[in-house]
A and B are shown apart, each in its own frame.
Chain A
Amino acid sequence: MIKKKVLLLPILILVFLAFNLLLEAELKKVLSIGSNQPDYLFMTVTGVVLDEEGNIYVADAGGSFIRKYNPEGVFIKEVGRYGQGPGEFSNSIGPLLYDGQKLYLKDDLNYRIAVLDKELNIENYIKLKGLRASLAKIDNLFYQISTKPGEPFPQVEIYNLKGDFVSSFFDERPDFFKGRTFSKKDYPAWVMFSRIVMAADRAAEEIAVTFTNPGDKIEIFFYTKEGKFKNKIEMDHLIKYKFSEFRLQFPPKYPKKSDQIIVWSIHYMGSGKILLDYWIVRYELEKAVDEKHYLLVVDRKSGRLLHQELVSNDLKVIGVKDGMLFGAEIAEDIPKVVLYKLDY
Chain B
Amino acid sequence: MKQFRYLNSIMIFLFLAALISGVFVIKSESTEPVPPCDEYLEWCIDWCAEHNPDPQNYQQCLNECARKWLEWCT
Contact = CB atoms under 8 A, between A and B. Distances in A.
B43 A92 contact: yes
Interface residues of B, number: 27
B58 to A, nearest CB: 7
A192 B50 contact: no
Nearest to A265: B49
A109 to B, nearest CB: 5
Main secondary structure of the interface of B (DSSP, over half): helix
Interface string B22-56: 00000000001111000101110111011101111
A46 B50 contact: yes
A131 B50 contact: no
DSSP majority for the A interface?
mixed
Interface in A130-145: 130-131, 133-134
A210 interface: no
Nearest to B58: A262
B70 A188 contact: yes
Interface in A56-100: 61, 90-92, 94
A324 interface: no
A125 interface: no
Given A90-B33, A131-B42, A291 B47 contact: no
A9 to B, nearest CB: 47
B35 A191 contact: no
A15 to B, nearest CB: 36
A288 B56 contact: yes
A192 B67 CA distance: 13
B35 A316 contact: no
Contacts of A187: 41
Nearest to A131: B39
Contacts of B46: 108, 133-134
A61 B56 CA distance: 21
A188 B67 CA distance: 9
B53 A146 contact: no
A291 B55 contact: yes
A108 B53 contact: no
A109 B65 CA distance: 16
A313 B66 contact: no
A168 interface: no
Contacts of A192: 45, 62, 66
Contact of A188 (B35, B39, B69): B69
Contacts of B42: 131, 133, 146-147, 191
B26 to A, nearest CB: 22
Contacts of A313: 54
9 contacts: A44-B51, A92-B50, A108-B43, A133-B45, A192-B62, A264-B49, A279-B55, A281-B56, A314-B53
The 8 residue pairs across chains A and B that have the minimum distance between CB atoms = A188-B66, A316-B53, A288-B56, A133-B46, A131-B39, A281-B55, A131-B43, A46-B50
